[in-house]
């Protein structure tokens, strides 16, 4: 389903269904009181954002360590590969929902309600800010403890009243810390209103690192050689360019001609650079158009040439990456890759990468223009917030990072020889 159709379904079907589900949940609680205890089988719900599957990892590890909990996850099928970057949740504990059409969505939703009961889910944490659908899954899954964001007296989306542990979403706090707040609510030993009157320290949102062995790096280098036969790992430095962003918010895309300018300049001024344009298989045609505009032998269309779970191996052997505000900016955060992320409709203060990342953000008065209150749908059709970011400003940062990286490598080589 396309994004606008999903929003319409979520609204026109979601509002009445949330009302009915709320009545059912309240009636159920009156008939059969459920005992709440320490979390044991904990389900996280994050459906539509692959980057959030990375940003929630510190929260998942916290409840796993603190409560010795078994972790479960439900996500749209098209986004499930993002969970395999860190493998915090066992593959067998991941439930995927097909989002390609309404029939499959309905069937998988019913299967999900059976699956949660089969796995004795006692705690569910709804990570979504914008989805009535996730609220329905939360309320009807059978868990005694149901944690999520609640509007209280704020204006916002109606999602029913199915939560037992209501947390106030903090729009001034990074989303990873908001996720920690949800876990803190699940671990609370007394009732609060709202839950999670806790301080979340920066140390709590440090990410784990992906495990990348030498064979995976060797295989990735071989794949690069297939696309660029003269590739020499000792001579070429790899720069990754991700010009894509999901259809969820196309306003996040920097202008294609700007990416072309950046790639041409880097290649013209550094004879050892190899530029790989990355992306999903469906984005290969777009990547090819950019490659043709760059018109340089060391510019390679690498879109669709690696699976999502293989990205850490690619990031491990690259020098740096320039990307729109999208999944790769978060996927690279599980490695040490120097990453530059272009922000516009969203702010890095709330959604910035937790890795070795530098946000490039103009900070216009209209930005960010998407929030929990508008279902992440902006009226803007002229993303000036990204248009004002010029190639020269981006290039200066990339050049500086490349020089620093080269200096560090030379120093490391001298130290090893000494």
Q: What is the pLDDT of residues 265-278, one digit of tens each?
A: 999 999 999 999 99
**Confidence bin at 123 (pLDDT 50/70/90):** very high
Per cent of the chain over pLDDT 90 is: 74
| pLDDT beyond 60 at 385 | yes
Q: What is the pLDDT of residue 317?
A: 96
- Which of 55-59, 229-233, 250-254, 317-321 bottoms out in mean pLDDT, i.e. has the lowest? 250-254
CATH architecture of 3-202: 3-Layer(aba) Sandwich (3.40)
* pLDDT surpassing 80 at residue 80: yes
CA atoms within 13 A on the CB side of 40: 9
Split at pLDDT 50, 70, 90, the class of 254 is very high
pLDDT for position 34: 62
- Ranking 80-94, 133-147, 234-248, 257-271 by mean pLDDT, the lowest is 234-248
Partners of 358 in the β-ladder: 340
Closest CA to 42 of 62, 66, 69, 20: 69
| Residues ≥6 apart with Cβ < 8 Å to 283 | 244, 303, 304
pLDDT at position 413:
61
As a whole number of angstroms, the distance between CA 290 and CA 284 comes to 10
Q: What pLDDT sits at residue 155?
A: 67
CA gap 314, 317 in Å, rounded = 6
pLDDT at 35: 65
pLDDT tens track for 326-372: 999 999 999 999 999 999 999 999 999 999 999 999 999 999 998 77
Task: Select the more confidently predicted residue: 228 or 377.
Answer: 228
The token pair at 214 is 């030498």
Residue 137's pLDDT band, with cuts at 50, 70 and 90, is very high
- pLDDT by residue (tens digit) across 184-210? 999 999 999 999 999 999 999 999 999
Q: What is the pLDDT of residue 156?
A: 67
pLDDT at 36: 66
Above 60 in pLDDT, residue 418? no
Give the pair of three-digit tokens for residue 128. Answer: 């979504």
Ranges for all domains in the chain classified under CATH 3.40.50.2000: 3-202, 214-407
Contact call for residues 319 and 241 (beta carbons, < 8 A): no
Give the model's confidence band at 21: pLDDT under 50 very low, under 70 low, under 90 confident, else very high: confident
Quick one: what percent of the chain has pLDDT higher than 70?
A: 95
pLDDT band at 397; cut points 50, 70, 90? very high
pLDDT at 374 over 90: no
Domain 214-407 has CATH 3.40.50.2000: yes
The pLDDT of residue 131 is above 80: yes
Go through 356-369 and write b for each residue having 16 or more CB atoms within 10 A of its CB, e for each that does not: ebbbbbbeeeebbb
Whole-number average pLDDT of the chain = 91
Answer with the residue of higher pLDDT: 2 or 141. 141
Q: Please name the residue that has the structure tokens 């929630």.
A: 56
Mean pLDDT of the region 134-160: 88
pLDDT number for residue 29: 77
């Amino acid at each position: 389903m396309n994004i606008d159709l999903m929003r319409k379904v979520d609204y026109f079907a979601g509002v009445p269904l949330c009302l009915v589900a709320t009545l059912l949940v309240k009636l159920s609680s009156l008939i059969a009181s459920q005992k709440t205890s320490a979390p044991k089988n904990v389900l996280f719900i994050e459906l539509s954002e692959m980057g959030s599957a990375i940003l929630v990892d510190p929260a998942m590890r916290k409840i796993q360590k603190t409560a010795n909990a078994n972790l479960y996850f439900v996500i749209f099928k098209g986004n499930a590969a993002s969970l395999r970057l860190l493998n915090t949740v066992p593959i067998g504990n991941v439930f995927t929902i097909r989002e390609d059409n309404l029939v499959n969505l309905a069937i998988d939703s019913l299967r999900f309600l059976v699956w949660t009961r089969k796995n004795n889910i006692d705690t569910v944490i709804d990570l979504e800010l914008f989805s009535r659908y996730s609220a329905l899954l939360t309320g009807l899954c059978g868990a005694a403890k149901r944690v999520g964001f609640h509007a209280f007296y704020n204006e916002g989306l109606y999602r029913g009243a199915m939560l037992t542990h209501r947390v106030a979403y903090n729009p001034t706090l990074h989303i990873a810390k908001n996720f920690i707040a949800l876990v803190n609510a699940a671990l609370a030993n007394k009732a609060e209103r709202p839950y999670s009157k806790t301080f979340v320290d920066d140390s709590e949102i440090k990410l784990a690192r992906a495990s990348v062995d030498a064979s995976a790096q060797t295989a990735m280098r071989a794949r690069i050689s297939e696309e660029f036969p003269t590739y020499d790992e000792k001579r070429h430095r790899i720069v990754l360019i991700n010009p894509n962003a999901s259809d969820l918010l196309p306003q996040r895309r920097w202008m294609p001609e700007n990416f072309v300018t950046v790639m041409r300049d880097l290649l013209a001024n550094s004879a050892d650079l190899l530029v790989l344009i990355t992306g999903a298989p469906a984005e290969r045609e777009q990547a090819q158009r950019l490659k043709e505009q760059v018109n340089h032998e060391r510019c390679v269309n690498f879109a669709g040439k690696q699976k999502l779970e293989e990205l850490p191996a690619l990031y491990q052997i690259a020098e740096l990456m320039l990307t729109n505000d999208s999944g790769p900016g978060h996927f690279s955060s599980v490695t040490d890759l120097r990453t530059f992320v272009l922000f516009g409709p969203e702010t890095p203060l709330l959604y910035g990468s937790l890795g070795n990342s530098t946000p490039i953000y103009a900070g216009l008065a209209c930005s960010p223009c998407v929030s929990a209150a508008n279902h992440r749908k902006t009226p803007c059709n002229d993303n000036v917030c990204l248009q004002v970011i010029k190639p020269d400003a981006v290039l200066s940062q990339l050049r500086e990072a490349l020089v620093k990286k080269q200096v560090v490598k030379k120093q490391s080589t001298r130290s090893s020889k000494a």
